[in-house]
Homo-oligomer: A and B are copies of this chain.
């Protein structure tokens, strides 16, 4: 993200539907992001995206939802800023580009496309129980550890 001086933006990527266990994990990730003063970027819909945004809001953070569809009303209720792309899955690239670092939580094919873009764009990426398609994805199991590591990686990139 160049010589960026703005608040750090951390992308949380994962499926629009997930188990209660994964939801809890995402919520904790969101909370830790907000507690450290970073902004949460996500796809704005349900599942992992909603849980992460919920966690971030509970800790007083700022949440950005980059939607695939045409209506702001499709955003989950924990999104502060709604970006309406109307570009369907092409918005996945925007989620990745708009994040200084990404945290992937589980996820299906949409998440895989975002992981692929992150690797292609040399964005640092931390994974919690996610696709193992590259050794460049740092696999961790605790939300606190994932967020701390993500912030460290982003700082390294942002210089």
A residues near B (Cβ < 8 Å) are: 1-7, 9, 39, 62, 64, 66, 70-75, 77, 79-90, 93-94, 97-98, 100, 108-110, 112-113, 116-117, 119-121, 131, 133-134
Q: Are A81 and B82 in contact (CB under 8 A)?
A: no
Q: Are A90 and B88 in contact (CB under 8 A)?
A: no
Chain B neighbourhood of A119, CB < 8 A = 109, 112
Q: Are B9 and A81 in contact (CB under 8 A)?
A: yes
For A4, A7, A62, A87, which residue has the most chain B Cβ atoms within 10 angstroms?
A87
Q: Are A1 and B71 in contact (CB under 8 A)?
A: yes
Q: Are B83 and A6 in contact (CB under 8 A)?
A: no
- Assuming the contacts A72-B1, A112-B133, A131-B133, asked whether A82 and B120 have C-beta atoms less than 8 A apart, the reply is no
- Assuming the contacts A84-B97, A131-B133, asked whether A73 and B4 have C-beta atoms less than 8 A apart, the reply is yes
> What distance in Å separates the Cβ of A34 from its nearest Cβ neighbour in chain B?
14
